Structure 1
């Protein structure tokens, strides 16, 4: 990853700033859109400060104001990907695509996001345990418990020995 002017790794904040510019209003709904722009800026700051949960909250508030904002859906998906919520990230990118219209750049970023979410999800999958693996795990758990009990007995014997030595002094 490359260092961005915002002081964090990755391109997410830079792309979000680009989105801010492309989301700026040109109509009479400027007041409402300014609230969304402010929430997007908050999301950048929170994400940059290592608080992706707060960044997601800001983006979700923006979506309550503008539920048809494809860019907000995309960046919420980016945030979910960062948080490890891969299925949700993929769904949010798909939602963004339904709203993106003819915005080819956003559709391309959504395609990347969907691919990244699928790849990350596949890397995190573990195959189901076999009977042999489960039996081995049970034996390991039993051995761990046996050692814990032995350590407790040693500690009790050590304490008794120290008490006996203290009495003899």
Structure 2
């Protein structure tokens, strides 16, 4: 009986450790991302806070664009966030943008597009919207030139309930083990 409980305990720890390792997501190039699918409605407002890394160049003259959306095809696009006269995207700074676009549900993807000679390293992108919880995407890497680069967690949105159910199941098993031992 105790051997079986110890085996279940080991399985629970392995599961929790593997889930913790997989949560450290990295941004990736979006090879199939297409801006032409964008909707033209502009009925909702979003606040986007982009923090530039302290290891980024002191400033950038690069052109920076953003696109984000939900799992239902609602996409928001801002073609040019950069403005050299506003000193946007300087090292160790945060810039806040008001962006208008179609109303979306929970934001589950964000892509940045950079073109220019300087390079730029965002730390994070945080998006606030009327129908959504605030969501933060941590980049902490240089954005390659001339390609949409970021995160798409939409395919995981429908399975997130399953993962949390598994997590709770493992916590219950661990709790029972501690009660029995």
The question of a shared fold, defined as TM-score above 0.5 by the shorter chain, is answered with: no
Higher Cα radius of gyration? 1
The TM-score normalised by the length of structure 1 is 0.25
Q: Which structure is higher in helix share?
A: 1
Larger RCO: 1 or 2 (CA < 8 Å, sep 6+): 2
The TM-score normalised by the length of structure 2 is 0.24
